[in-house]
Structure 1
Amino acid sequence: MTIEAGLMEKSRDMNGHVHKIIRKKQFKKRANRQPPVAAAAAAAVPVELQRLFESCRDVFRGPGTVPSPGDVQTLCHILDGMISEDVGLSRDLQFFKTKHHAKGNPRVSYTTIYKCENFSLCLFFLPATAVIPLHNHPGMTVFSKLLRGTMHIKSYDLADPVNSVNTGLPSQPRLARMKADDVFTAPCDTSVLYPTSGGNIHAFTAITPCAVLDVIGPPYSKADGRDCSYYKDTPYTALSNGETTVTKEEGESYSWLEEIEMPRDSEMDVIEYLGPQVIETSS
């Protein structure tokens, strides 16, 4: 994978659905400069990346299961110690040095390091001001490690997650408690969200160019009912259905979330991963 080479061939949403083909970008080669990510591809797989892969294979047991607290601690310990070079991302990449903000809504790119039925390892690249809008992770446990950059994260948990169904269509607003509304700068601790807690519905806004390593178990799968839904949030004080028992003071920690159709700016560019490859040893 090389961000500098602009290997963006297809546009997909967060479920991996292809939307359109776009042209490859052309860049002039610089003398005596080997693409840092391409150079890393030939090297042996970093110890931490291999440890992460092997631990994920042990921890994630398929749909309907949630890692134990001990397993969560193990994965967080590994991820907390990882740096961008562990996945072939040199700190010298021009992508991370870009200071100007692109006009309009910069597109997010992603690449998949590894994927199976039980889990996936993915990298997301957000240029400055790029946004991944509010979306959920139905039935999933997700570990997010900010490798590079500064990012604003807002996340919610539904106040009543029972019978939460992804219809793919607009729905009535539902009460949600805010889990996070903060700015994070790498290096920072790994964040963890669970099927019904930990900020399962979240949005990312890049303040500077960012790279995020996500461990998702199990991955999105529309066929298995794990389709991505998108949301619009409205302050709690702006709406009232007369059925909640949230006090005025508590209302500052709550919002109404309305399921919406997939925003156009949520489409992502897929790039090829050319970094270190994990080794699938027999378990």
Structure 2
Amino acid sequence: MPGDKMASSLIQTIARQARTTFKLLPLAETGGFQDNLQQLNSLLEKIQVEDLNLGPRRSQGPRHGPPVTYMHICETEYFSMGVFLLQGGACIPLHDHPGMHGLLKVLYGSVAVKCFDKEETESGARPGAGVQFNPPLLPCQQATLRRSLQSSTEVLDQASGPCTLTPLHNNMHQIDALDGPAAFLDILAPPYDPEAGRDCHYFKRLQTVSEGPGKASPAPPPVQEAVWLLEVPQPSDFWCGGEPYPGPKVVPDREAGQME
């Protein structure tokens, strides 16, 4: 029956586990949340394109249409879930997820995910007298400057485990499709909501110079590198289209075994 098929699908199980997990976000530091998050990670490791009625796409010469499209699967007050599909060579520019947790699981292709950590004191961070930028900043740009920590760059494919983010760790990232089209399942908790202060912002990394003219900044120590990011408008060469989701029906509030 339709209800049985839906209840038994892996993506439905993932949605239920995501709801169970992210209902506990107010208790994110507790063992209960971490245990449920680990269960969600374990389920995501099993997901395949066939579970969503998708198939890898081939490069088709010159790019047509949006560089990235999104298939919406479901959204609740606790989380949203969907699939991003990137054309070969496409890039989701550096952006943030204010106050949010997230998981990214590659379904096909490969992507490079360049992450930056947020600093707990970022709202009050300003460059010191010895920090200069190339090109120099305009006075009106100072208010949108963010001091951050470069975390890592990972290359992920369908054999990789999920990439995770928290309100501070990996919260800002850029995603590039490598060697052809790619797709990944994306879970964000709670969902973007501008009215609740969870709007998406775009950034670019600034180049710094030392106080001595023409001299590059000294090599960073072998710890996380402090970098400066400037908030910018959405890049003109990036936009995201929409596609219908072709996979099994998902109802996050439905418990296993329930019928329609």
Deviation, structure 1 residue 173: 3.0
Alignment correspondent of 2:102: 142
**Does residue 195 of structure 1 match 2:167?**
yes
Q: Is the 8 A contact 2:66 2:239 kept in 1?
A: no
The correspondence of residues 71-150 of structure 1 with structure 2, limited to 5 A, is 71-91=36-56, 96-98=57-59, 100-102=61-63, 107-150=67-110
Helix, strand or coil at the partner of 2:186: strand
Deviation at 1:184, TM superposition (A): 2.1
Select 1:268's aligned residue among 237, 240, 255.
240
TM-score, normalised on structure 1? 0.71
| Aligned-partner Cα distance in 2 for 1:227–1:62 | 22
Distance 1:118 1:153 in 2: 25
Alpha-carbon contact 2:97-2:167 (below 8 Å) kept: yes
Q: Distance in 2 between matches of 1:138 and 1:49?
A: 26
Amino acid at match of 1:146: V
1:204 maps onto 2:175 in alignment: yes
Give the one of 195, 210, 217 matched to 2:189: 217
Instruction: Return closer, same or farther for 1:179/1:173 CA change in 2, 3 Å cut-off.
Output: same
Identity %: 27
| Whole-angstrom CA distance in 2 between matches of 1:179 and 1:185 | 19
Contact 1:134 1:230 in 2 (8 A): yes
Deviation string for 1:200-233 (max 9, x for gaps)?
Answer: 0001111120111011110000111101111001
Name the SS for the 1:151 alignment partner. Answer: strand
| Gapped regions of structure 2 (runs ≥ 5) | 125-139, 212-216
Q: Identify unmatched segments of 5+ residues in structure 1.
A: 1-40, 241-245
Match of 2:220 in 1: 249
After TM superposition, give the deviation of residue 106 of structure 1 in Å.
5.2
Kept in 2, the 8 Å contact 1:233–1:255? The answer is yes
CA contact (8 A) 1:143 1:214 kept: yes
Flag the structure with more relative contact order, 1 or 2, with Cα contacts below 8 A and sequence separation at least 6.
Answer: 2
Measured at CA, do residues 250 and 106 of structure 1 come closer, stay the same or move farther in structure 2, by a change above 3 Å? farther
**What is the number of residues matched between the two proteins?**
228
CA RMSD across the alignment: 3.1
- 2:112 aligned partner: 152
TM-score (norm 2): 0.76
